[in-house]
Copies of this chain bind each other. A is one copy, B any other.
């Protein structure tokens, strides 16, 4: 038997950089949480502690801040610049992956802002000497529809107690990620349109299952946005149970709900187009 080092990567996670751009009195703000992960010729540090091929994670952090000094562009742009730097600069780095969460701020004044919520814009950029893969996304996008959702016709077995329903609340904290066909994209416009398509489809599609909604949302993106090759979604079913008010002599026409934390359904799915380029190292 021989012990073998397999897949490995390392990097600096969650460098929280806030960039203010000042054009006269009116400031712009970008608030990014940046994680870097490098893979490559790192067997020595594992086997002997020889770090001569290692780029310290502290240096990666410094690089994030230094690169933020220049105009950042969209998160995808910033991720591409950073990831390419690490693979081009260091022979030992074969693959660099930069994952970014962007928090939004709403303007209330020339130089004052209020945080827009828990929702995050996401980007993951992976670079090697041979290619660049970009994945966009949105996380913690909490949506709810108060009707237009049914669930019935499912398998019943000895452990089934769930009653069928023709009307329920459907709510989720959406995490969606989409793989771009290439890196030549109007990132800002693409993000805005995809987010709008996701929300519109969630809102207007009559749902017979969370899976159907997931598929419809993904399909809407793929049909309207040719720059997207593949959509992956994770949709926790944030259960809202209609409270039984009959012990108190009251009916409840799907008006009063108990919002439960755990357990929750978790629906995950991938939807792609048949003519999409291969994913390569995107994920």
A residues near B, CB below 8 A?
1-22, 27, 29, 31, 35, 37, 42, 45-59, 61-63, 65-66, 68-69, 89-90, 92, 105, 108-109, 111-119, 141-148, 150-155, 157-162, 169, 199-200, 202-204, 207-212, 214-215, 218-219, 222-223, 230, 236-237, 240, 243, 245, 247-250, 252-275
Residues of chain B within 8 A of A22, CB atoms compared: 146-147, 253-255
Contact among B155, B259, B268 with A17 in the assembled complex (CB-CB below 8 Å)? B259
Q: How far is the CA of A272 from the CA of B270 in the complex (A)?
A: 30
CB distance from A28 to the nearest CB of B (A): 9
Contact call B113/A62, Cβ cutoff below 8 A = no
Count the copies. Answer: 4
Q: How far is the CA of A148 from the CA of B103 in the complex (A)?
A: 22
Q: How far is the CA of A272 from the CA of B8 in the complex (A)?
A: 12
CB distance from A234 to the nearest CB of B (A): 10
CB distance from A86 to the nearest CB of B (A): 10
Pairs A–B under 8 Å by Cβ, sample size 6: A2-B274, A6-B270, A15-B262, A20-B254, A59-B160, A62-B159
Contact call A10/B211, Cβ cutoff below 8 A = yes
Contact call B143/A211, Cβ cutoff below 8 A = no
Contact among B9, B15, B255 with A69 in the assembled complex (CB-CB below 8 Å)? B255
A29: nearest chain-B partner, CB-CB = B146
If the complex has contacts A16-B263, A46-B211, A68-B256, are A3 and B219 also in contact, measured as CB distance less than 8 A? yes
Contact call B270/A8, Cβ cutoff below 8 A = yes
CB distance from A127 to the nearest CB of B (A): 17
Residues of chain B within 8 A of A69, CB atoms compared: 245, 250, 252, 255-256
